[in-house]
Amino acid sequence: MTQGIGKVVGWQQQLADCVEDPVELFNMLDIDQQELSGAMRAIQSFALRVPRSFVARMKLGDINDPLLRQVLPLGEELQAHPGFTQDPLNELAQNPVPGLLHKYQGRVLLTVAGACAINCRYCFRRHYPYQDNIPGTKGWQLALDYIASDTSIREVIYSGGDPLVAKDNVLENLTSRIAAIAHVQVLRIHTRLPVVLPARVCDRLLNWLQATRLKTVLVIHANHANEINREVTLALKQLRAAGITLLNQSVLLKDVNDSVSALAELSWALFDNGVMPYYLHLLDAVAGAAHFNVDQQQAVALHQQLRHKLPGYLVPKLVKEMPGELSKLPII
């Protein structure tokens, strides 16, 4: 169908056409050029990258826009902060075969793609050497053998980077090889694409997701209610219609969503779209992201107020990731 093909071309073109030049971003948003020199320095260590459809949801002339804050390179990223390091989760040590992380019982995480559609300044993998750790089509055999040899693995998680940056034929092929392993029951995908580039939810994606025998869970990573516009609503509706369980995970970020009202609005917006709040993560202490930090005491207080304001099913679990622990750690 021509309509389907048109949509496929659409997302790949949009991905190729992201905004990467701070000058252009500042001009598009009519932002004062004062912060520009800091931005130019910050992109030397972590590139600017943001889809145009995401920029279109930001407020003009507002450097404090909660969507802009997530992608805006700032000079202060270059300042060292004690405790903020390159690999805060010590992931490089938990990598039994290329592309596979096995930290928790029953589930393994595959780094399916190295790139993202958006570069989030708070990302805990902003220094991760993806290029050395994406096995490519042939190399997945080692990971698949690892999964096949451990019958305790019920769930395979696609992560990255953003796994949905990969093309559908690659994902479909990998998924069918995983589905051939009898003890795997669930495929979970952690992705920001349905939110930051909703055109990615194309017919081909929906087709293979619907066709697999695996139960499918998709965890979108929205941090603020303003991210969910009409296009995102339509994409989420199509995913739900395909029988996919939708969850959301966010990161608690200073000047983005560190208020009870922002967090409550996000939960309601998600629920309106059939997405259940799952986790609210404390920031991982990655070098360059200290300006997003909300201290733990304040996070606990916010979370308590959120519990008082929302029905229990709309309150995400407040968690923190600690190297060496057997799960994400609840914070109370």
Ligand X SMILES: *Cc1c(COP(=O)(O)O)cnc(C)c1O
Coil, helix or strand at residue 286: strand
Binding mask 174-203 for ligand X (x = CB under 6 A): ------------------------------
Which of 72, 97, 109, 147 is close enough to bind ligand X by CB under 6 A? 109
# residues contacting ligand SF4 (CB under 6 A):
11
Nearer to ligand SF4, 154 or 254 (CB): 254
If one asks whether residue 222 binds ligand SF4 (CB under 6 A), the answer comes out as no
Q: Residue 22 is encoded by which pair of tokens?
A: 């701070």
Q: Residue 126 is encoded by which pair of tokens?
A: 């902003």
**Alpha helices, H only, the chain:** 2-16, 22-29, 36-42, 52-55, 66-71, 136-149, 168-179, 193-196, 203-211, 230-241, 260-272, 296-309
Q: Measured from the CB of residue 320, what is the shortest distance to ligand SF4 in angstroms?
A: 16
Q: Measured from the CB of residue 269, what is the shortest distance to ligand SF4 in angstroms?
A: 19
Binding mask 88-107 for ligand X (x = CB under 6 A): -------------x-xx--x
| Partner whose binding site includes residue 109, from ligand SF4, ligand X, none (CB under 5 to 8 Å by kind) | ligand X
The contacts found for 298-302 with CB under 8 angstroms, 24 or more apart, are 298/258, 299/252, 299/331, 300/331, 300/332, 302/252, 302/258, 302/259, 302/260, 302/263
**How far apart, in whole angstroms, are the C-alpha atoms of residue 15 and residue 96?**
31
Which of 29, 97, 123, 184 is close enough to bind ligand SF4 by CB under 6 A? 123
Which of 116, 209, 235, 314 is close enough to bind ligand SF4 by CB under 6 A? 116
Which of 157, 290, 315, 318 is close enough to bind ligand X by CB under 6 A? 157
Enter the DSSP assignment of 85: B
If one asks whether residue 119 binds ligand SF4 (CB under 6 A), the answer comes out as yes
If one asks whether residue 192 binds ligand SF4 (CB under 6 A), the answer comes out as yes
If one asks whether residue 68 binds ligand SF4 (CB under 6 A), the answer comes out as no
The CA angle 247-253-257, to the nearest 5 degrees, is 70
| Partner whose binding site includes residue 220, from ligand SF4, ligand X, none (CB under 5 to 8 Å by kind) | none
Q: Which residues contact 78 (CB under 8 A, 6 or more apart)?
A: 41, 42, 45, 288
Nearer to ligand SF4, 226 or 305 (CB): 226
If one asks whether residue 328 binds ligand X (CB under 6 A), the answer comes out as yes
Binding mask 50-89 for ligand X (x = CB under 6 A): ----------------------------------------
| Partner whose binding site includes residue 125, from ligand X, ligand SF4, none (CB under 5 to 8 Å by kind) | ligand SF4
Dihedral of alpha carbons 56, 61, 64, 69, sign? positive
Q: Measured from the CB of residue 46, what is the shortest distance to ligand X in angstroms?
A: 20
Strand partners, 157: 109, 188
Tokens 């592309």 locate to 99
| Partner whose binding site includes residue 120, from ligand X, ligand SF4, none (CB under 5 to 8 Å by kind) | ligand SF4
Do residues 177 and 144 make contact, with C-beta atoms less than 8 angstroms apart? yes
Closest by Cα among 283, 154, 161, 278 to 220: 278
If one asks whether residue 164 binds ligand X (CB under 6 A), the answer comes out as no
Closest by Cα among 222, 274, 218 to 253: 222
The contact set with ligand SF4 (CB under 6 A) reads 116, 118-120, 123, 125, 160-162, 192, 221
Binding site for ligand X (CB under 6 A): 101, 103-104, 107, 109, 157, 327-328
